[in-house]
Amino acid sequence: MTTTAPLADARTLGLAHYAARAVLESVLSRYDLTFAQNTALRFAALADGPVTRDEIADGVTGSIRTGTAEAHRLVDELLAGGFLAADGPSRIRLTASGRAVYDAYSAEVQEISARIWAGLSPEDRAAAGRVLAHVTERAEAELAARA
């Protein structure tokens, strides 16, 4: 019996996204972090040094399509939780505990991701990447046209 792969469409994209996100959230929950908080923390963790609140908020709004006020609320939560700290009057930096938590859950997620992506050829991954980049570009154009 031969099975046919489903055509990629909004549904298959959504199913893959939510399955992967559920895996990530199951890891993050052990660190008392939400998906959105992780997104904000990641921007600080990957920065080359202290960043502004607006830089983190812009990264969050661009990544998960949330409002600016929500993005700033996430920064406030990470500051209150000790994951981030003020570095002078206008900059924010990752704390040592923020780095430790980020590194720990990132290592877990990398191991899980390796299992999820195992056995998929580089060619298939490249093709999927090209298609997803094109879909993202078109969806962003639709959003811009509606603004």
Q: How is the chain classified by DSSP, letter by letter?
A: ---PPPPP-HHHHHHHHHHHHHHHHHHHGGGT--HHHHHHHHHHHHSSS-B-HHHHHHHHHHHH---HHHHHHHHHHHHHTTSEEE-SSS-EEE-HHHHHHHHHHHHHHHHHHHHHHTT--HHHHHHHHHHHHHHHHHHHHHHHHH-
Tens of pLDDT, residues 101-121: 999 999 999 999 999 999 999
pTM: 0.87
For the cut 90, the answer to whether the pLDDT of residue 126 exceeds it is yes
Residue 129 backbone dihedrals phi, psi, to 5 degrees: -60, -40
Q: Where are the domains of the chain?
A: 25-118
Q: Does domain 25-118 have CATH number 1.10.10.10?
A: yes
| Confidence band of 16 (pLDDT split at 50, 70, 90) | very high
Cβ proximity of 60 and 71 under 8 Å: yes
Q: What is the pLDDT of residue 47?
A: 94
For the cut 70, the answer to whether the pLDDT of residue 1 exceeds it is no
Give the tokens for residue 33: 């972090």
C-alpha to C-alpha distance for 129 and 140, rounded to whole angstroms = 16
Give the tokens for residue 118: 């195992």
| Confidence band of 2 (pLDDT split at 50, 70, 90) | low
C-alpha to C-alpha distance for 52 and 130, rounded to whole angstroms = 32
